[in-house]
Amino acid sequence: MDSLLSICDIKEDVSYIIDLAIKIKSGETEEKPLAGKTLAMIFQKSSTRTRVSFDVGMYQLGGRGIFLSSSDLQMGRGEPISDTARVLSRFVDGIMIRAIEHDDVIELAKYSDVPVISGLTNLEHPCQVLADALTIKEHFGSFENKKICFVGDGNNVCNSLLLIAPLLGMDISVACPEGYEPNEKILKIANEFAKENSTEITVSDDINVALDNVDVVYTDVWVSMGDEDEKAQREKDLAPYQVNQKLMDIANDDAIFMHCLPAIRGQEVSAEVIDGPQSVIYDEAENRLHAQKAVLYYYLKD
């Protein structure tokens, strides 16, 4: 059963899904294509954009989403993930899971007879970067000759951006301190994608190097859910990587600022940037809905 656990799972169809999202957003597809379909939505982590976009997306496509927190499921009392996957597969047409461990999502998909969509893991956030790519295409018109720079902690969002950028023909750089580099295995795969698509990937602790000729400046929180014990150290290490106006001025004049949200103003980004004219964070957040609808259509439409 095909599932979306990583951008790698849709490497041949990334452009198609983004174009599909554009068509769905503009009303060019049929109404209620998922009538009668049901999506189980499992949340091991709290959520705003993922929960609402999938729930509303299913409703607008004619289907229904069922919210299930860990405490709602027998998984919370020790039921094996394999049993949960097998049982839910008898009831629903698809499963979306916002999980802590990536391996849990892999196991869920292994035993599921319906598509499993990752709403986030500690390794990747594929649905987020599909929305990001949609936003970039809407803003610039195409991906040609575009470059993204991710600044800060090389986390799950950074990992997925590294995978999707070369598949769409974009260069990408990462500016991060030592010890905060993106996942090595992801970076290796991303470099293979870059070679195949004649794009460039750089990872550097030098912000000036990473921001050279950049069209998109992207950052995320320094302390993700699960990293609270490292809060003080992370804030100290990442302080030089705050995205402020001085940093934005290094990028191209028409560069945009992106953030997957939630954001902490005054920490990873200054208020003048995130609330300034270069910021597209709310377009980006809205596009979670349209990108999610495209993913749901792609995986659940007969």
- Give the whole-angstrom CA distance, residue 36 versus residue 71: 27
Q: Where residue 67 sits, what CATH number does that domain have?
A: 3.40.50.1370
- Please say if the pLDDT value at position 63 is more than 80: yes
With a CB cutoff of 8 Å and minimum separation 6, the contacts of 112 are 1, 3, 85, 86, 88, 89, 95
Whether residue 52 is found in the same domain as residue 179: no
Q: Residue 287: which pLDDT band, with cuts at 50, 70 and 90?
A: very high
159 and 185 both lie in a single domain: yes
Whether residue 76 has pLDDT greater than 70: no
Q: Verify that 164 and 205 share a domain, yes or no.
A: yes
Rg (CA), the chain: 19
Catalytic hit among 98, 102, 234, 259: 98
116-120 sheet: strands from edge to edge: 64-69, 38-43, 94-98, 116-120
Does 2 reside within a domain?
A: no
**Does the pLDDT value for residue 11 go beyond 90?**
yes
Which position among 125, 234, 259, 290 bears the catalytic label?
A: 125
Please indicate, yes or no, whether residues 61 and 136 belong to a single structural domain of this protein: no
Catalytic residue among 44, 220, 234, 259: 220
Q: What is the pLDDT of residue 228?
A: 80
Same-domain check for residues 167 and 226: yes
Q: At residue 181, does pLDDT exceed 80?
A: yes
Confidence of residue 77 (pLDDT cuts 50, 70, 90): low
Active site residue 64: no
At 199-234, the pLDDT tens digits run 999 999 999 999 999 999 999 999 877 778 889 999
Q: Give the range among 40-49, 67-76, 282-291 with minimum mean pLDDT.
A: 67-76
Q: Scan for tokens 């709403």, then name that residue.
A: 119
Angstrom distance (rounded) from CA 250 to CA 239: 18
234 catalytic residue (yes or no): no
Query: Helix, strand or coil for residue 94?
Result: strand
Is residue 260 annotated as part of the catalytic site, yes or no?
Answer: yes
| Domain shared by 112 and 131, yes or no | no
Catalytic, 288? Answer yes
pLDDT higher than 90, residue 157: yes
Q: Tell me which residue of 51, 96, 44 sits closest to 70, measured CA to CA.
A: 44
Domain that holds residue 51: 7-125+288-301
- Residue-level pLDDT at 74: 75
Catalytic residue flag (residue 220): yes
Question: Annotation-wise, does 156 bind a ligand?
Answer: yes
Residue 48 annotated as binding site = yes
Residue 78: pLDDT band by 50, 70, 90 thresholds?
confident
Q: Is 127 annotated as a binding residue?
A: yes
**What are residue 62's phi and psi, to 5 degrees?**
100, 0
């301190």: which residue's tokens? 177
What's the number of domains the chain is made of?
2
